[in-house]
Amino acid sequence: MMGSSSGTTTSSDQLVDERKTKRMVSNRESARRSRMRKQKLMDDLLTQVSQLRNENNRVMADVSITMQHYGNVEAENSVLRARVVELGHRLESLNQIIAVMNQPVCVDEPAYDAEFIDEFMDNSLTCYSYYANQSILASADMIQY
C-alpha cells in the first residue's frame, strides 16, 4: 500500500512541479512584458524630452530676436521723442517770430514824414498798424536733422 501512495505522491508532485513551472514561465513572461513597457515608456519620455528641448531652443531664439527688436524700437522711440521736443521748440520759436511780425508798428516819430507814410499806407494817421503778410514756409529739409 505504501507503493500506491508513493505513486500518487509522485503523480501529485509532478502536477505541483508542472504548476510551478507554468507559474514561473508566466511570471517570466509578465516580467518581460513589464520591462518592455517600461523601456517603451522610457523611450517615449526621452523622445518627448528631446522634442521639448528643441521647442524650448526655438522659443528662446524667438524671445532673443523679439528682445532685439524691442531694443531697436525703444532706441527709435527715444530718438523720435527727442525730435518731437526739438520740433516743438522750433514751432514755438516760429510762432514767436510770427507774433513779433504781426505786432502793430506805430509811426509817430518825427523822422517819418507824411509823404513816406502815405506812400506805404494810404492814410496819414499818427499810428499805423500793418502786418507782415508773408507766410513762413518750412520745407522738409528745414525740419530734418
Q: For the residues 61-74, what does the mean pLDDT come to?
A: 98
pLDDT classification of 11: cutoffs 50, 70, 90: confident
Give the range among 22-36, 65-79, 99-113 with minimum mean pLDDT.
99-113
Q: Which three cell numbers stand for residue 96?
A: 514767436
pTM of the model: 0.47
Average pLDDT for the chain: 79
Split at pLDDT 50, 70, 90, the class of 104 is confident
Does residue 124 surpass a pLDDT of 50? no
